[in-house]
Amino acid sequence: MQTVHVKLTKGRRLASVCIVLFFFAFFAFDLVKIQLVDGEKYDAASTAISEKTATISAARGEIVDCNGIPLVYNTQGYTLIFDAAYFPSSSEKAARNEIILSLIRYFESNSLEWIDILPLVFDTNGNIVYKEDSDSLIKEMKSADMLKLNEYATAQNCFDALIEKFELQQYTPQDQRKIASVCYGMLRIYFKIGTPYVFATDVPDETVSMVKENSNFYKGVDVRVDPVRNYADGTLAPHILGRTGAINAEEYAEKKSEGYKITDYIGKSGIESAMEQYLRGIDGVETVYTDSSGERTSVVTEAPVQGNNVVMTINAPLQKVTQDALRNALLDYAGSKGNMVDDAGAAIVIDCRTGAILACATYPSYDISTYAENAALLNSASGSPLWNRALLSTYATGSTMKPSVAIAALEEGAIVEDTTIYCSGSYEYLGQHFKCEQSHDTRHVNVVNAIDESCNTFFYEVGKTIGIEKMNEYRILFGLGSKTGCELGEASGVLDSPEYRASLGQTWLPGYTVQSAIGQAGNLFSPIQLANYCATIANGGTRYKTHFVKSIKSHDYSQTIFETQPEVVAETGISAQTLDIVKRGMLQVGTTGYCSEYFRGAPVQIACKTGTSQEIRKIDGESVKINNGFLIAFAPYENPEIAIAVVGEGMTSGVFVAPVVREICDYYFGQNGTFDDMQSEGTFIP
């Protein structure tokens, strides 16, 4: 038998050595990781007799203004939770109820808020009734997963079911309801190990100490450090920023496939809701090990990741100026003229070169930082302070429509710049009499003077000549009667027409055409539509999609997730000559006309158009005719940068909101350098 000798080549020997070294290095690295990097985790696990995981809540992203000034940010606060591993079980209802009631009494005696989502309240007669505006919560409470009641169940039926389910018979009705709210909250989230119940958030140090000092009694009541949403100024743009709140059943059903839990908080309104997918962070995981002596060790096994940051187009100082100016103008009018309705209105400022919304104010308003404790009062307050008039209210906008009619007539060749129409102060059309109550320097009025002096007769005649179809064709170009495209909810409004009236089962009457020409009839437009319409005139005929979000940044601002680019919705194709004629008429309103006394001495020339319309409103149960005042403006007249729309409800003329436009322009153009320079010198360049 012959022996075969295998001779290893030099290359094979080297490869063998490398493989051996690789395995040695791998095991050495793994040993270092186990001993040093994850030593705490494995040491805790080695001595543990039990372990459980808990969620570490991730902070939401921040919301900042266009220069990086914080608007919404996070701090850390104490959250009081019930830990199912140690809290009395559902079979120990007496012990459970005793702890809950003790906590509630402590919180209420110290004027502290605890989470109460039960949609049942006592009325003034002491009867249990459903809480207003809680339809989704009421439906969830009756559902098969909760109380198993039919949809016709009364509030008392629900209350009785809660008392029986949680064995609350021995308590007073008021205490029954409070304990039931907490017990129902635990039922709703399927309270169990790994799913703690949140009793209260942002708890003060004194309360934390009290709970810890009485831990033998408050079994399973624990303290967790969580991010807390804070506002730099709760009164600044609350309708735009919006708020967060506990996820409801309908939202959870929609979002659970995206990883949401029934215990999560979610954006409920404003930018908090619209940008939810970016603001929401990624929760972390904490593992808690308990050894034989009861000692607990916590190890972060997955670190939480904060959400992305939203950079707004809103300029915080300009927003403040706009809000204050609007409030002051409304209160000044009420003080000097009286007002039949609640002082209310809106103002909006748009960059007419991009569609970016620089300021958006509505009055009356509220403090979003105290919304939770004042929600019931705010919902029932006169003037509807929670309502965003700038985006959601629609109005007959009066003579602010005259520039659009002038543009239609000029573009269609129905008039030229020198065309004059005689105004006697009265106009007759098909047997109907209409008035022009303006005094004119000459009775023969051309288009520039008609805009300046707001001559109804001129526009009655022009409207009759071109007809409703042509007027509406140009209004559509300007986006009137349709949403402007911003990230938040907004009203579509109404573009009145024969087709629209037919959809209501009504007949279009000939008189509606001439009324529409002066901004009456059934047209209803929102302040944001008015501002964008004015911006389109100012910038030469380009209509942009409006937007509140400038960009989305990563949690540390090191990366741009996306940046909003100006989006053209329509190129109107209106000639420069036509727009120049109309803008000259608007300039005269601001320099020699109705608003000149307010704009005299302004840092730039302001072009504008006033408007007044009538509205029938129910006041104290009676139908009362009121006026609303409007003003649209752009500045500077040469090379316009901003467009503004302001409405004052109950005002007899848009002239009375001219101070709002003046204060906006004083701030925007009155600083050292231009407003664009100011933005580039900010503390943060997104």
* CA gap 326, 491 in Å, rounded: 21
User: What one-character DSSP code corresponds to residue 400?
Assistant: G
- List pLDDT tens digits, range 360-389: 999 999 999 999 888 889 988 989 999 999
Domain layout of the chain by residue ranges: 86-192, 316-366+387-673
The answer to whether residues 71 and 316 touch, using CB atoms and an 8 Å cutoff, is: yes
* H-assigned helices in 496-566: 498-503, 510-517, 527-538
pLDDT value of residue 626:
85
Q: CA nearest 660: which of 589, 591, 605, 598?
A: 598
> Per-residue b/e over 179-203, b at no fewer than 16 CB within 10 Å?
bbbbbbbbbbbebeeebbbbbbbbb
The parts of the chain modelled with pLDDT lower than 70 are 1-50, 292-294, 296, 671-686
How far apart, in Å, do the first and last CA atoms of the chain sit? 83
Tokens of 100: 């809950």
DSSP code string of 194-244: TB-EEEEEEE-HHHHHHHHHTTTTSTTEEEEEEEEEEES-TTSSHHHH--E
Q: Is the peptide bond before 636 cis (omega within 30 degrees of 0)?
A: yes
**pTM listed for this prediction:** 0.86
> In this structure, are residues 72 and 238 in contact, taking their beta carbons and an 8 Å threshold?
no
Query: CA-to-CA distance for 658 and 607, rounded, in angstroms?
Result: 11
Helix H or strand E segment including 564: none
Give the model's pLDDT for residue 26. Answer: 58
CA atoms of 642 and 675, how far apart (whole Å): 10
Q: Give the pLDDT score at 6.
A: 46
Whether residue 572 contacts residue 519, with contact meaning beta carbons closer than 8 Å, is answered with no
- Check: CATH 3.40.710.10 for 316-366+387-673? yes
Q: Which residues of 453-475 are buried (b: 16+ CB within 10 A; e: fewer)?
A: bbbbbbbbbbbbebebebbbebb
Q: Are strands 568-571 and 296-302 parallel, antiparallel or unpaired?
A: unpaired
pLDDT of residue 38: 53
| CA distance linking residue 247 with residue 272, whole number of Å | 13
Quote the CA–CA distance of 511 and 545 in Å, as a whole number.
Answer: 34
Query: What DSSP assignment string belongs to 48-95?
Result: EEEEEEEEEPPPPPPEE-TT--EEEEEEEEEEEEE-TTTSPPTT-HHH
Q: Which amino acid is at 44?
A: A
Tokens of 342: 């609640």
Residues 340, 92: contact at Cβ < 8 Å?
no
Whole-number pLDDT of residue 437? 78
Which of helix, strand or coil describes residue 363? strand
